[in-house]
Chains A and B, each alone.
Chain A
Amino acid sequence: MSLFWFLGFPILFVFLFGIIFGGMGDSSPLVLGIVFQGGVLEQGGIALCEENPAFRCVQEDLASSLEALKQGKRDVVIVFDGEGIRLSYHPERIDRAHLVAGYIQRFFLEERLRALGAWSNIPPVRLEAVEVPHFRQIDYFLPGVLAMALMQLGLFGSLDFVSLRERKIIRQLGATPLPKRWLLGSEIVVRMIIAFVQTGVIITAGWVFFRVRLPHALVPLFAWILFGSATFVSLGYCLVSLVRTVESAEGIIQMVQFPMMFLSGIFFPPEMMPETLRLVMKLLPLSYFGDALRKAMVDIPTQFGLSTDFLVLLGWLCGSFVLALRFWRWE
């Protein structure tokens, strides 16, 4: 069961995000519905489609074409009738309609100029794409999913301990000279090993199924993984030191992890958040961990700077460790 939560669940997440966001950010040709209703422009229309590889044209009748448009299967429907050319478009895709309209006008202008023999005087316009690193949405999300999985591993991992504590098993340790900090330290080390495995699984799943970029430098990535998971394990123990039972421990952990999940810029980029929520985001350790992992995993530029990420997480790690020991319970 716990194997599922530690290994299966993250893979499920990778799948979910891969399916939702995997395709986004890719460029695909515009799909045009072409409807001919007689008239002189038919020849030109066919030539228009053949000439431009950025268009994929589907010739059909008006009704089915409009239906496909409403379903989002066509970007623009072009109707050639006796009087001229009419473009139908989905209100959300007005930009594409303008693009196509501009292209059509240029195409027919060119035809006319050529017919007049004036074409050669017009200087050619060339399009050239600049080389930039190309991030797909999934590249952005995968480090976030990893950060979230490690956060959950850390926080929920402490529940095992609470259960042992509630069954009075930990109490037995309280009667021995075992120092609390060793016990807490060993728990953190065990969770870090699990975090290692979990990270391997998530990265492999992301690469195998969705060809997410592989991290270029493993050492800094794994250093961040260990550091971040230690922080959240420590935070988990700090939280469960404050409550008695497994039920209330689950409650307090949910209370902390739920806002963190949604307000740390993992599911929504910060630009989408209102000003106040962005302030909240700056208070959450997961924001900094996700930020650092995005940089370490897929080289996305950091938002806060790696040294800020490090200092904030270090603060949370030390603070929660001290508080966990301060409010420690043997039973």
Chain B
Amino acid sequence: MMGKILPSRRCEKAREEGAKSVSAIVVQELRKYYGTVKAVDGVSFTVEQGEIFGLLGPNGAGKTTTVETSIGLLPRDGGEVRILGHDPQEEPLVVKSQVGVQLQMAQFFPRLSVLETIRLFGSFYPRKRKEKEVLALVGLEEKAHALVEKLSGGQLKRLSVGLALVGEVDILFLDEPTSGLDPQSRRNLWETILWLQREGKTIFLTTHYLDEAEKLCHRVAIIDHGRIIALGKPKDLIAEHFVEKAIEIPLDEVEDGREFPPLQSVTKTERDAENLTLYTVDLAATFAELGRYAEEQKLSLRNVVVREATLEDVFLKLTGRRIRD
């Protein structure tokens, strides 16, 4: 055995190294091109151990490519990646034995049952979680003996999250874990993710749900067109870009050919396909101005919504688009 270290032993060694406060994930200037399309174009971030880190962005922003190059499933075209100090391209098995991965477009062997699938994938890891526990974590106990080909879309999604949990690993990569789930399953999955974090896991997830990013993630990176345009704690990001509250007015209520006038107390106006959003520090003054304007123009303004600024506003401000457009 001299000189040649088996994967499991190497994994133990890496685990010890990991304990010495190495960052869980370090990505620097990551690049991935498909022909002339720059899917990921110089992305850098660091995820510390025990953190829930979110990569937030619209479809096609480069989230999935970032995940798949980070775990070494796709070769990268430039930059550096370290998972607990290991390069996924140099030591693929060491890295893969320490990460659990839920792929976005997950496909399974159709003729295996849920339990068999979990058992099969569990057998690939040096240390695995109990099958019953995995089923419970993703709420598939009742479907344990159902064939994979008979599962619904939401159940398949939960199975794919379950496969990220079959190994006793340190880091979880979840690529859009809740998209396509009904609200109840979404909330259950959030609970599971928070529970895993309390268990000591590092969680890297991608999402295009802003509430999800705000509720779950310690830090988020906002990605658009393959580049990170903002990175930080959700609260800090919002505070950095907005001290204001947001007033949303449906466009059809204000713009029937008329130009909406600039209001004195409004610091910034954003316009997208559906809403006119006014940002203000002084709600009372803005409402007074709005009231006068509505009276002059005989506008009803029945569906006006006032809310705190969110990550959505940050995204809108930085890109001029809404995240799910």
Contact = CB atoms under 8 A, between A and B. Distances in A.
Interface of A: 164, 167-169, 171-179, 330
Given A168-B107, A172-B103, A178 B124 contact: yes
B126 interface: yes
B93 A171 contact: no
Contacts of A179: 7, 93
Contacts of A178: 124
Interface string B124-158: 11100000000000000000000000000000000
Interface string B149-171: 00000000000000100010000
Contacts of A176: 96, 101, 121, 124-125, 167
Contacts of B294: none
Contact of A171 (B11, B103, B109, B124): B103
B73 interface: yes
Nearest to A331: B73
Main secondary structure of the interface of B (DSSP, over half): loop
B107 A175 contact: no
B149 to A, nearest CB: 12
Given A167-B107, A168-B105, A168-B107, A175 B71 contact: yes
Contacts of B73: 171, 174-175, 330
A305 to B, nearest CB: 37
B108 interface: yes
A45 to B, nearest CB: 75
B7 A172 contact: no
Nearest to A179: B93
B70 to A, nearest CB: 11
B7 A177 contact: yes
Nearest to A174: B73
B279 to A, nearest CB: 42
A172 B125 contact: no
17 contacts: A168-B105, A169-B109, A171-B103, A171-B107, A172-B103, A172-B106, A172-B107, A172-B108, A174-B73, A175-B96, A175-B103, A176-B101, A176-B167, A177-B97, A177-B167, A178-B124, A179-B7
B163 A172 contact: yes
Main secondary structure of the interface of A (DSSP, over half): loop
Interface residues of B, number: 20
Given A171-B73, A330-B73, A177 B107 contact: no
A169 B121 CA distance: 12
Contacts of A169: 107-109
Nearest to B11: A177
Which of B11, B101, B107, B108: most chain A Cβ within 10 A?
Answer: B107
Which of A164, A171, A173, A176: most chain B Cβ within 10 A?
Answer: A176
Nearest to B173: A175
A178 B124 CA distance: 5
Nearest to B110: A169
A255 B66 CA distance: 39
A287 B65 CA distance: 47
Interface in B262-318: none
Contacts of B96: 175-177
Contacts of B124: 173, 176-178
A17 B96 CA distance: 52
A175 B101 contact: yes
Contacts of A171: 73, 103, 107
Interface string B1-22: 0000001000100000000000
B48 to A, nearest CB: 23
Contacts of A173: 124
Interface string B25-44: 00000000000000000000
B170 to A, nearest CB: 13
A175 B172 CA distance: 12
B275 to A, nearest CB: 38
Nearest to B109: A169
Contacts of A167: 107
Contacts of B108: 169, 172
A216 B133 CA distance: 55
B227 to A, nearest CB: 25
Nearest to A168: B107
B29 to A, nearest CB: 23
Nearest to A170: B107
Contacts of B163: 172
B186 to A, nearest CB: 23
A167 B101 CA distance: 18
A172 B106 CA distance: 7
A236 B121 CA distance: 25
A172 B163 CA distance: 9
A179 B105 CA distance: 22
Nearest to A173: B124
Contacts of B7: 177, 179
Contacts of A330: 73
A177 B7 CA distance: 9
A172 B160 CA distance: 9
Given A172-B163, A178-B124, 7 more contacts: A168-B105, A174-B73, A175-B73, A175-B96, A176-B101, A177-B7, A177-B126
Q: Which 4 A-B pairs have the closest CB atoms?
A: A177-B97, A175-B101, A177-B96, A178-B124
A15 to B, nearest CB: 33
Contacts of B97: 177
Nearest to B121: A176
Contacts of A177: 7, 11, 93, 96-97, 124-126, 167
A103 to B, nearest CB: 70
Interface in B88-108: 93, 96-97, 101, 103, 105-108
B108 to A, nearest CB: 6
A185 B35 CA distance: 34
A94 B51 CA distance: 94
